Amino acid sequence: MKLIASPTSPFVRKVRVLLHETGKTDAIEQVMVATTPLASDSQAVAANPIGKIPALVRDSGPAIYDSRVITQFLNATWDLGMYPAAREWEIKTLESQADAILDAAVTVVYEQKLRPEELHYETWFDAQRQKIDRAVADIESRWMSHLAGPLDMSHIAVGVALSYLDFRMPDRDWRANAPALADWHAKFAARQSMIDTVPPQ
């Protein structure tokens, strides 16, 4: 199998961290591409007509895409235990919430990098930042007991999302009102899987 990827994509990083955590890094060829919403890489488009990454080119059957589809496919294929039945819906909900943080953050990053400055819409930026703030506050108030439990896919998703905020939105001090989550993230970011997948500056 081949993973169409980019070292700076947080959605790709979720899959790469999963591979590291489960000892499967050698089982999938990682094909790094440079792609943006304005200039999609040809390999990304060949795997996913939208051009988004990650996309997983399987040995049989069509390519699959969206990081959550890929992580659930790999979990089922290799019986990785990252979505245990007893906590399945909580895991999927928290993973979805982490992905929503990424969606809002990536939107801001692309708008700032790709849209001319004179066309920036600050009200839109503020709305995305508020979504991030609300989601972080909710994890702090409602999900810390879950994050204290055995490693599952939601831990990876939250860890990657918070690290992306540090990487691309360092001016947003998400830790200020989330001390428990900040402590959790400091430990999670020190895992070898996270160190091995730090995006290039």
Q: Which residue do the tokens 């998400």 mark? A: 174
Mean pLDDT, rounded, of the chain: 96
Residue 9 class from Cβ within 10 Å (0-12 exposed, 13-18 middle, 19+ buried)?
A: buried
Total domains, the chain: 2
Residues 15 and 54 in one domain: yes
| CATH code: domain of residue 59 | 3.40.30.10
Q: How far is CA 160 from the centre of its chain?
A: 5
Task: Decide the pairing of beta strands 2-5 and 55-57.
Answer: antiparallel
In a domain, 197, yes or no: no
Residues 95 and 187 in one domain: yes
Residues 106 and 71 in one domain: no
Q: Are 33 and 43 in contact (CB under 8 A)?
A: yes
In a domain, 174, yes or no: yes
pTM score of the predicted model: 0.96
Taking only the tens place, the pLDDT of each residue in 22-63 is 999 999 999 999 998 889 999 999 999 999 999 999 999 999
Return the pLDDT at 128. 96
| CATH code: domain of residue 147 | 1.20.1050.10
Domain encompassing residue 154? 85-192
